[in-house]
């Protein structure tokens, strides 16, 4: 189960982040590009072969901010990503887990106070929660954000 979690989150991060510098433009665009650049370390921390899920709360916060401040051309797409991650948080909570629990799970450890049987029983709920992040709508939004980031900010989201 923990390999599935890591793979899905890596796909999410690689599909919509790993950020570099920003270019010029309007004040709102400059702020947006600056926010993308500032989020680089947090996003990159999940896009490795050993993701740092302890930073996942920071990544979610960055997504919330970028969705709130997104330029009109990608506002809908950022909202799609943000809603997907918000839904993930809710689905995890419904399963009795938090984002903080992903770190031990990704290392093959049990979250504090949880037995292996309890975690195994939650596996279908977790798989359903993460499957939502693999939807074509979610992936299309990621691709449009990548394209916009490159043209509006000079940010190549597909390279480190």
77-86 per-position pLDDT tens digit: 999 989 888 8
Q: What is the mean pLDDT of the chain?
A: 76
The CA R_g of the chain, rounded to the nearest whole Å, is 16
Q: How many CB atoms lie within 10 A of CB 87?
A: 13
Residue 83 included in any domain: yes
Residue 158 included in any domain: no
Residue 127 included in any domain: yes
Residue 159 included in any domain: no
132 contacts 87 by C-beta, under 8 angstroms: yes
Q: How far is CA 134 from CA 15, 47, 64, 109, in A?
A: 10, 16, 19, 25
Q: How far apart are CA 153 and CA 61, in angstroms?
A: 21
Share of the chain above pLDDT 70, in %: 74
Number of domains in the chain: 1
Residue 63 included in any domain: yes
* Predicted confidence (pLDDT) at residue 125 exceeds the cutoff of 60: yes
* Predicted confidence (pLDDT) at residue 144 exceeds the cutoff of 50: yes
Share of the chain above pLDDT 90, in %: 12
Residue 160 included in any domain: no
- What is the residue range of 17's domain? 2-153
Residue 71 included in any domain: yes
pLDDT, tens digit (0-9, with 9 covering 90-100), for 89-117: 888 888 888 877 877 887 888 888 888 89
Cα angle value 150/25/46 (rounded, 5°)? 40
């Amino acid at each position: 189960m923990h390999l599935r979690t890591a793979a899905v989150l890596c796909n999410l991060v690689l599909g919509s982040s790993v950020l570099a510098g920003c270019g010029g433009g309007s004040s709102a665009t400059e702020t947006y590009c600056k926010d993308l650049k500032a989020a680089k370390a947090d996003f990159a921390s999940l896009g490795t072969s050993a993701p740092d899920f302890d930073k996942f709360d920071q990544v979610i916060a960055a997504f919330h901010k970028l969705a709130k401040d997104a330029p009109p051309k990608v506002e809908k797409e950022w909202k799609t990503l943000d809603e997907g991650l918000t839904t993930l948080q809710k689905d995890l909570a419904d399963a009795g887990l938090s984002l903080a629990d992903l770190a031990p799970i990704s290392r093959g450890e049990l979250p504090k106070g949880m037995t292996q049987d309890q975690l195994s029983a939650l596996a279908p709920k977790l798989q359903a929660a993460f499957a939502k992040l693999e939807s074509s709508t979610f992936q299309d939004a990621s691709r449009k954000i990548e394209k916009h980031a490159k043209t509006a900010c000079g940010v190549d989201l597909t390279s480190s």
